[in-house]
Amino acid sequence: MTKTPANARIRVQPAPPLAHIRDFLYTDIFANAYAIGDLAPPYSKNAQWYAAYQSGKVIGVGLIYSGLIPPILFLAGKPAALEVLVHNTSLPESIAFSAPVNAKPTLESNLTVTGCKLMHRMCLLPEWFIPAEDKLAEEAYLLRLSREDSADILRLQQEASSHDERAFEDVAFAPDMVDNGCYYGLTINNRMVAIAGTHLTAPAAGIAAVGNVVVHPDHRGKRLGTLVSHTVTRVLLSEGYKLLALNVSQGNQPAIRTYTQLGFRITGDFIEGFARQL
């Protein structure tokens, strides 16, 4: 195997061949699951890719995904590649970011970083799945959601964010996610009190990203988060997805326990946060 010289020049190419991006991302399918999904429609129309090459080999990639507000910067690769990518990527004025833990010094030296959090990537393969046995209370109703339910989804997210003193910009949701994904909601007395869904679904790649799990503050501690998460997970697996991924804050032990009970396993760590141009 030919070894790449450590001092070889690194160059960044905007809009590189997608085959090069794909080959690099598939070297770590767990860490790069979300980015792999962004290679496919409908997400690909909002994806602007950059590749860092050294001696003709891709050693890092950058992605600006403009389908959410603020746009998201995704980084993956060797530390030297991350430094060059940040310097040579046309970044928006304000971004959210998802990057390796060792990218933090590079981000902080080039951008004004706020709200940086340590995160776990958790993944599930079909053989890891642990079916839940929770039953609905008599007054509860579980249903698959559509775009017409977006107002109820946003209301629940806003109520939970306000109670948790969490900035609403932390919530990555757009009505298109319901159209393109798998969302389930649980109502009690005709009011939505728990939801779970997907950030992306890429059937051709067999990958889906579970997210937007929210339970109303008045109904926590009743395993409703487990119930809606289980339903989304079970349905995605029944539809043929071979890898489910999700992101969770390392300090959110209740959520980690919920996902672990369904069979999700921690497969890596990263950082996420917000940044602005200096």
CATH number, residue 165: 3.40.630.30
Q: Is the pTM of this model over 0.95?
A: no
Residues 84 and 151 in one domain: no
Residues 17 and 53 in one domain: yes
Q: What is the pLDDT of residue 130?
A: 94
Residues 51 and 130 in one domain: no
Q: Is the pLDDT of residue 177 over 70?
A: yes
Q: Is the pLDDT of residue 236 over 50?
A: yes
User: Which of these, 123, 16, 90, 108, lies nearest to 60 by C-alpha position?
Assistant: 16
Q: What is the pLDDT of residue 133?
A: 74
Mean pLDDT, range 60-84, rounded to an integer: 95
In a domain, residue 28? The reply is yes
DSSP 203: T
In a domain, residue 223? The reply is yes
Q: What is the pLDDT of residue 210?
A: 96
Residues 153 and 99 in one domain: no
Q: Is the pLDDT of residue 170 over 90?
A: no
In a domain, residue 257? The reply is no
Confidence of residue 137 (pLDDT cuts 50, 70, 90): low
Residues 110 and 213 in one domain: no
Mean pLDDT, range 229-234, rounded to an integer: 94
Q: How many CA atoms lie within 13 A of 58 on its CB side?
A: 22
- pLDDT over 70 percentage in the chain: 93
User: DSSP string covering 168-190, please?
Assistant: GGG----HHHHHHS--EEEEETT
Choose one of 119, 153, 173: the last residue of a domain. Answer: 119
Q: What is the pLDDT of residue 217?
A: 92
Selected residue with higher pLDDT from 62 and 1: 62
In a domain, residue 264? The reply is no
Mean pLDDT, range 203-213, rounded to an integer: 95
Q: Mean pLDDT over all residues of the chain?
A: 91
Choose one of 119, 151, 173: the last residue of a domain. Answer: 119
| Structure tokens that stand for 229 in this block | 């998460």
Mean pLDDT, range 17-30, rounded to an integer: 98
Q: Rounded to whole angstroms, how far apart are CA atoms 250 and 231?
A: 24
Q: What is the pLDDT of residue 6?
A: 53
Number of structural domains (the chain) is: 2
- Per the CB < 8 A criterion, the answer to whether 93 and 69 are in contact is no
The string of pLDDT tens digits covering residues 94-131 is: 999 999 999 999 999 999 999 999 999 999 999 999 99
Q: What is the pLDDT of residue 164?
A: 79
Q: Looking at residue 89, which CATH number applies to its domain?
A: 3.40.630
Categorise residue 221: left if φ over 0, alpha if ψ from -120 to 50, beta otherwise. Answer: left
Mean pLDDT, range 124-150, rounded to an integer: 85
In a domain, residue 277? The reply is no
In a domain, residue 38? The reply is yes
Q: What is the pLDDT of residue 1?
A: 39
Choose one of 70, 93, 119: the last residue of a domain. Answer: 119
Q: Is the pLDDT of residue 211 over 80?
A: yes
Beta strands at 184-188 and 140-144: parallel, antiparallel or unpaired: antiparallel
Residues 76 and 151 in one domain: no
Judged by average pLDDT, the poorest of 109-123, 136-150, 181-195 is 136-150
User: Which of these, 84, 33, 85, lies nearest to 64 by C-alpha position?
Assistant: 85
In a domain, residue 276? The reply is no
Residues 162 and 80 in one domain: no
Residues 17 and 42 in one domain: yes
In a domain, residue 2? The reply is no
Residues 190 and 163 in one domain: yes
Residues 131 and 186 in one domain: yes
Residues 41 and 56 in one domain: yes
Domain that holds residue 215: 126-241
Confidence of residue 134 (pLDDT cuts 50, 70, 90): low
DSSP 209: E
Residues 143 and 100 in one domain: no
